[in-house]
């Protein structure tokens, strides 16, 4: 299901910097802002969420193999920040499928791990364990830090 990091995956950081419209909050892009949105309130947070959704939609139109999966992952992070758990789970499932099919194995495994944590129970634990094993097989040492990095800081409580 998962394999070693692909060349496009290794170059994603350069790709997203060039192609993803930037939402700047103290110099941070939307990819850095998503996890902080859950901690913010008021008009500023609504505006940031709207801009982040706009940027995630723009990313889905980029012609890179797994841009849609990354876009779905960003939308899932926003859904988590907005306390929309069912929507987040739907988006994470879609992201896992897209990322598996389009060559983003690390992102797929991390998204699957967050999905498992989000849905909980036996099914969630199985998804989380399978994803953690996949990340270890790809060379990850700190599974939580790796998950956080590949899911742009999405945190599920």
Domain ranges of the chain: 7-150
Measure the CA dihedral 2/53/39/156, to 10°: -30
Model confidence band, residue 24 (pLDDT cutoffs 50, 70, 90): very low
**Maximum alpha-carbon separation in the chain:** 43
Mean pLDDT (the chain) is 77
**pTM exceeding 0.85:** no
Residue 43 CA to residue 28 CA, distance in Å, equals: 19
Q: Are 39 and 14 in contact (CB under 8 A)?
A: no
For residue range 57-114, what is the model confidence (pLDDT) as tens digits? 777 777 778 788 988 998 999 899 888 999 999 999 999 999 999 888 999 999 999 9
């Amino acid at each position: 299901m998962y394999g070693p990091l692909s060349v496009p995956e290794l170059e994603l950081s350069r790709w997203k910097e060039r192609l993803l419209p930037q939402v700047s909050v103290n110099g941070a892009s939307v990819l850095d802002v998503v996890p902080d949105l859950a901690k913010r309130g008021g008009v500023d947070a609504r505006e940031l969420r709207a801009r982040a959704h706009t940027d995630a939609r723009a990313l889905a139109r980029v012609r890179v193999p797994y841009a849609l999966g990354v876009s779905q992952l960003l939308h899932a992070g926003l859904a988590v920040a907005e306390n929309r758990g069912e929507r987040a789970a739907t988006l994470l499932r879609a992201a896992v499928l897209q990322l598996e099919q389009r060559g983003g194995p690390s992102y797929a495994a991390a998204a699957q791990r967050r999905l498992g944590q989000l849905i909980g129970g036996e099914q969630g634990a199985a998804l989380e364990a399978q994803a953690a094993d996949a990340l270890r097989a790809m060379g990850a040492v700190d599974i939580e830090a790796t998950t956080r990095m590949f899911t742009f800081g999405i945190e599920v409580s």
